[in-house]
Structure 1
């Protein structure tokens, strides 16, 4: 190609490129301007003014064997064709046909010295297209975020991993974990000083919006959004004097906990309750009047404020639990006996009311006004319930174990001897092997009672004690007194029984309180024991005990503590970790609950192989049935069944199992145990088939040991079958 023809070709090409780039939209131009490779080659002066200059000739240098005339004639035709495609708003790579352009001029790279010998017009096309590597890195980035948050990966470790990935052909990943997780640059402006600590308020509505999805609102009856509030203090460190006071919340019936506000300081609690609750009460009152979300008019309802006894007295600004006038439900007066405040078990007193708390009519009980009175249609009595986790398990059940197993200073006449303690420890370790996986903490030696968590104490109250406290050597008075408490709490913990038998539970609890004085002495009837007589009234208002217990909130406090890595900047650490989760929360995330899930397939016996596929595990809502110690359930006909096979057919699920032939009451007083789904069973029958719909509850089935015999399986003798009250303990 002659030099004149080549120059003419260059001028035509520049004209075509300018026309195309001038017509392109701002989005494409901004994308191009951000690509270093494009900017270095095309010399963009700005995203709004992109032109090819004379200095860009090296991008258009090609050799051709055609003469100048043909080149001059071809260029206008090509330009007009490309211009017509631009008018039709086609994609850039469709408008600019690089292949036809090369064919028209019939160029050859080898004929001309090219400063970029490895690039041609096809390389230009790649500059305007999405790089597949970008898409790959975007997916990898999302996976890394989920992985880092779920497994609590340290920020330094995550940064090191990002550097490694960048060095192995992932150039679009960030180099810092803060960029990846969208960590706030600074938290200073988020906090305000409150007393000797810092206070952070996040908000109610900002937490509700991502949870009030279209799916949630479709299932909502009415316009009320009910939430429960939890307020409590926690020490995040063992050796540093710092205290956290979070305001947590959850939608009614949900296990998803969110943080509304948090205070961190060195004192036992914030010095000014009004300032601590000011922002929360202000927003709550506004939302209780109504708000609009996704086109629906909604209003907030504060169902309950859940807190332990010290927190409740602080929030209501009344006497602490060690005072003479401390009962939250009646006007009973305490008696100072054996260095503790006790209550007479048969004293008849007047109940406290919401009106008396708002007007502070009992000056001996009230210490001053409380900001909670600003909430209209909110009862300071019924909507701040007695919290069962601290009252029953950490309070009463631990006190019973202390009386029976405690130190020499305890003068309980029924205290266990060293030999009996050894027997009880052996029995507890023996029954542990038969407990299903629903129990997060299985039975262990009772001699370690001082280390027991609330879930372990609840398990002893509802399950273990039925067998262990019946052991030879334990006083019958201790066992019968325990049965009063166990039966009452089983009624109040069962969503079905509590509806019809709450009054019967109240009778049992009053009997327990009066009899416990005879068993353990007057010093036993302290604040927690006295409040048992009011517990059934709480269940009449709110339902079973699980609905207003603090278990899920206390678990979340443990999650907050695990977010910390060092004592410094405690509140900043927690806030950054929480906001990282919020920033990376998937849109419209909802709690997914599958009705039936099977897992761990295995080969069925030949006699059952024709029915379908075999599985070792089947999950029904909150419970899991497996072919090991999880294999017992109570049928709708109130029969205890052991599962031997789980079969998935084309249409449904089949459970192959055996019922126990003999099923009787395990105890008859204070009421027949069958009323509480507790049985003594023995001898398995013939194989039968059951459907998933026949499963009423899971059961804990434990062989009943004797003094000299510990059966190894449920087929060796009589067993104790206890229906499970919770999806997981």
Structure 2
């Protein structure tokens, strides 16, 4: 490797796009700061080294700010032992920064000591312990005999190898940090123990959304997240994050690093375990405002806001969609050719460079459209709306009472239990989903006026079909007709103001399902969960973006993915006992709990003891036992069943039954289970309603 002294002007713009740059800063002779730039040519693998006093990214042409460990801007990065690496791939993007202050383990550290250090690091990251608290703990550890043999550092930053400086790109009116896609994908695949990717192709869904991080200011984060499709255990990963007091002014400036890297990956892919992996963009999942922002089209409040058709809205105190038969479907070609000029803003979106279909590549998200949109709006109309649809106080209290009564029957797979209507303003998207798909048909029956109850069941039945893996394609046409019927009657029941962007787009939802699969394969629920965790990485209001970047880097370095037997598809039995019941002549071990791939069953829990068998019988489980390495369960089958509702179709069409009467004790092999069941009292004595859990991959 040769070293040439060049000034910044000579260095600026002297490399082509196919080279890989790795910058190292170190202290040179006579304490002079030197930046060594290693240029690795992608074809010849020849390295050259250059020394300079300044690095300027000519192609981006924007200022890069360096934040020190306290979040302050630091333009002078010199230090005695400090070292940081800019690891860039061939598209010049910053991927990771490491510090070299002794964070690595010494060769003299024993294996057990290294394991102790790793466990401490993982504990700190998992429970988000503050650095000051860990520093105090490490100081206490120095009192232990033989502390030196543990190889523990004095500070938490060294223990976690926390990056000391965070290069941020100016994106008006804030800053942006780009993590990169390739490194995030490789890290996720390794954590999931994926040795080989099917067909050597990775399809990624991307999400862009804004989240406020303060109530007293406009401070907000705009993350770009990715999610790999068709890989078990896949979770969202960060691609880049913007922070500022207000959203980015220019969407193309905000998306610059992202678009540039995706274009490169689409051209050359990347290498994983010695195999070339191609990358495809499956689509972008966003709510309506975020989608309009990154596509550079009219927002959801505009007259020509529909992203699927050319229908024009009307003014009725707000933009509503009443005459919908006049709209024609948009296509990728008409979008790129600006055939409908009033749908677009002045500039074009840089996402058009990615080759993704600008219509079908942006599917409707039912979390925002249906759960937080239509379902929430209907509930508000029933409680605070016009007199012709508003329920009285006693009816509202009765429904709230029923919701609280069934809360103890909600299985553990649901992250939230039902709450009363008095807390409706604080309901989350998962609660609206639970009400629409499970508890609503039961708690509203006999209380909500019959015409409104039937209208609600139309939406319930349509979404029940579209969210089901088995029914979404076979019954798609029927689901579409149900949604059209629902929208047609919205104006009649709730008035013109109900006919908003969300109501109109229900007509297009079944088309996206027909192209992509059931609703949960392209929903924002996984991303919303990640955004919640991302927001809680911020510990103080100053410099939130560097804080988030450092916490995510610590998490990536020290958190291990727990792979249990059940997550690999093998049942995991827990809690041994000898209390029975068991078949006569039984010899083996009994258990109260079994963990399967998609759900957990407990024989002693009223909320987790019901299952659907493959013949669609519903069984209340009473025990699990193992004989000759085979697992069985005992239980009592429900004898009688009927429909919970019959309009707009019979509930048995979705395997939703009204049950009563338990048969005598019997036993079955564990592999006869189809899915877990949610069973709740149905208002009638000794009768209950059973719903198959739709989050089960078997259903």
TM-score interval, normalised by the smaller of the two chains: 0.7 to 0.9
1:418 matched residue in structure 2:
393
User: What's 1:505 paired with?
Assistant: 479
Tell me how far apart the structure 2 counterparts of residues 552 and 419 of structure 1 sit (CA, whole Å): 37
Q: Find the aligned partners of 2:478 and 2:435 in 1 and give their Cα distance.
A: 22
- In the alignment, is the contact (CA less than 8 A) between 1:213 and 1:588 conserved in 2? no
Question: What is the match of residue 6 of structure 1?
Answer: none
Q: In structure 2, what is the Cα distance between the partners aligned to 1:647 and 1:479?
A: 44
Q: Indicate yes or no: 2:596 matched with 1:617.
A: no
SS in 2 for 1:489: helix
Contact residue 122 and residue 559 of structure 2 kept, 8 A: no
State the 1:240 CA deviation. 3.4
Shift in CA distance, 705/374, structure 1 to aligned 2, threshold 3 Å? closer
The CA distance in 1 between the partners of 2:577 and 2:563, in whole Å, is 34
Give me the whole-angstrom Cα distance separating, in 2, the residues matched to 1:397 and 1:153: 39
Instruction: Give, in angstroms, the shift of residue 332 of structure 1.
Output: 1.1
Q: 1:659 to 1:586 in 2, by over 3 A?
A: closer
Answer with 235-244 or 474-483: which moved more. 235-244
2:226 to 243, 249, 254: 249
| Structure 1 residue 519: Cα displacement | 1.7
Aligned to 2:155: 176
Choose which of 462, 470, 475 in structure 1 pairs with 2:449.
Answer: 475
In the alignment, does 2:553 pair up with 1:575?
A: no
Matched, 1:196 2:173: yes
- Residues 1:278 and 1:565: Cα distance change in structure 2 (over 3 Å): same
**Aligned equivalent of 1:521:** 495
Deviation (angstroms), 1:554: 0.9
In 2, are the aligned partners of 1:233 and 1:244 still within 8 Å (CA)? yes
1:435-514 residue pairs with structure 2 within 5 A?
A: 435-472=410-447, 474-514=448-488
CA contact (8 A) 1:318 1:365 kept: yes
Q: Which residue of 2 aligns with 1:434?
A: 409
- Closer/same/farther in 2, CA of residues 585 and 465 from structure 1, 3 Å limit: closer
Q: Say if 1:441 and 1:586 are closer, same or farther in 2 by CA, change over 3 A.
A: closer
Match of 1:726 in 2: 695
CA contact (8 A) 2:592 2:624 kept: yes
In structure 1, the residue matched to 2:671 is 693
Query: How many Å apart are 1:310 and its aligned residue?
Result: 0.1
Matched, 1:307 2:286: yes
Cross-structure match for 1:23: none
After superposition, the Cα gap between the structure-2 partners of 1:429 and 1:214, relative to the gap in structure 1 and judged at 3 Å, is: closer
Would the aligned equivalents of 1:438 and 1:727 in 2 still touch at CA under 8 Å? no
1:533 paired residue among 480, 501, 507 = 507
Aligned residues: 582
Q: Deviations over 1:214-248 (max 9, x none)?
A: 98665533121111111111112222331111111
Deviation of 1:317 after TM superposition, in Å, equals: 0.7
**In the alignment, is the contact (CA less than 8 A) between 1:462 and 1:486 conserved in 2?**
yes
Question: Could you say if the C-alpha distance between residues 590 and 576 of structure 1 is closer, same or farther in structure 2, counting changes exceeding 3 Å?
Answer: farther
Structure 1 stretch displaced more, 326-335 or 310-319: 326-335
- Mapped pair 1:398 → 2:373: no
In structure 2, the CA distance between the partners of 1:419 and 1:721, relative to structure 1 (3 Å rule), is: same
Partner of residue 678, structure 1 = 656
For structure 1, which runs of at least 5 residues remain unmatched after alignment? 1-128, 707-715
* Partner secondary structure for residue 389 of structure 2: coil
Partner of 2:262: 284
CA distance in 2, matches of 1:238, 1:624: 39
Q: Quick one: structure 1 residues 475 and 256, their matched pair in 2 at CA, closer, same or farther if it must change by over 3 Å?
A: same
1:143 corresponds to which of 119, 135, 141: 119
Matching residue within 206, 210, 227 for 1:233: 210
1:717 aligns with 2:690: no
Supply the distance in 2 between the matched residues of 1:364 and 1:288 (Cα, whole angstroms).
32
1:637 maps onto 2:615 in alignment: yes
Moved more, 376-385 or 628-637: 376-385
Q: Give the superposition deviation at 1:376.
A: 4.4
1:387 aligns with 2:365: yes
Find the aligned partners of 2:138 and 2:348 in 1 and give their Cα distance: 51
Q: Give me the whole-angstrom Cα distance separating, in 2, the residues matched to 1:362 and 1:631.
A: 55
Once the 2 structures are TM-superposed, how far is the Cα of residue 182 of structure 1 from its aligned partner?
Answer: 0.3
Residue aligning to 1:654: 632
Provide the secondary structure at the position in 1 that maps to 2:257: helix
TM-score normalised to structure 2 length: 0.80
How do 1:545-624 and structure 2 match up within 5 A?
545-584=519-558, 592-605=567-580, 607-608=582-583, 610-624=586-600
Tell me how far apart the structure 1 counterparts of residues 693 and 107 of structure 2 sit (CA, whole Å). Answer: 56
The answer to whether the 8 A contact 2:644-2:657 is kept is yes
2: CA distance, partners of 1:623 / 1:150: 23
Q: What is the deviation of 1:443? A: 1.1
Provide TM-score, normalisation by structure 1: 0.77
Query: How large is the RMSD of aligned CA atoms in angstroms?
Result: 2.2
Counterparts in 2 of 1:584 and 1:448: CA distance versus 1, 3 Å? closer
Deviations 1:133-185 (A, max 9, x none): 74443221111011111111111111111111121132221110000000012
Offset of residue 634 of structure 1 = 1.0
Instruction: Choose the corresponding residue for 2:353, options 375, 378, 381.
Output: 375
Q: Specify which structure has the higher proportion of strand.
A: 2
Greater Cα radius of gyration, structure 1 or 2: 1
